[in-house]
Amino acid sequence: MSHADRRRRFEEIARDVIEPVRRYVDRRAHAADVDDVVSETLLALWRRLDDIPAEHIAWAIGVARLQLANTERAARRRDRLSNRIRTLDPPHEAAPVADDGVDDAVRLVLRSLRPADAEMLRLWSWEQLEPREIAVVLGISANAATVRLHRARKKFADAWRKEAASAGHVEVKERSGR
């Protein structure tokens, strides 16, 4: 494949994947990291252009997932270093911690789930991926994705009911007519 053909193919794929990848990363990363993760994802796509399967959007989200994990590991390393520095040379005044007070009920319930279940639901609901596409993102079989999605949805429903009950909401069950 000539350089012009590779470039043309990459541009077509990038045009398809850029918005789904950006939405995926935007929902999971700090705003300051979104552009970097998307850029690293596109760079990985260029490098692995010959390996990109037909399900290129799901595959690109899988690549973004790995790039996001790299970014999170780097942030943890920075945090550990910052904590060490603070221990050795504490600041003179403690900076106030920002608390926006916003805690969406769905995000609260998602946080109560196992990370794998929460990610499965985010891929399905937020990214609107089908189980076969989720399988590509997670590197599992389509059947495994279907089963895991079903289980994750059930766990979410159970956690949602518990959260609603603890928040003082009363669940009303409808009676079937005779």
> Which of 9-18, 82-91, 123-132 ranks highest by mean pLDDT?
9-18
CATH 2.60.40.10 given to domain 103-167: no
pLDDT in tens, 67-113: 999 999 988 888 887 777 666 656 555 444 444 332 467 788 888 99
Task: Provide the residue ranges of all domains of the chain, joining segments of one domain with +.
Answer: 1-91, 103-167
Weakest-pLDDT range from 108-112, 136-140, 149-153, 154-158: 108-112
Sorted by sequence, the CB contacts under 8 Å of residue 40 that are 6+ apart come out as 67, 70, 71
Mean pLDDT of 55-76: 93
pLDDT in the model for residue 152: 94
The predicted pLDDT at position 172 comes to 46
Determine the Cα–Cα distance for residues 142 and 136; give it in Å rounded to an integer. 8
C-alpha–C-alpha distance, residues 77 and 59, integer Å: 28
Q: Return mean pLDDT, the chain.
A: 84
Which residue would you say has higher pLDDT here, 53 or 102?
53
> CATH fold of 1-91, please?
Rna Polymerase Sigma Factor; Chain: A (1.10.1740)
Burial of 24 (0-12, 13-18, 19+ CB in 10 A): buried
pLDDT at 6: 93
Please tell me the predicted confidence (pLDDT) of residue 86.
64
Q: SS3 of 127, please? A: coil
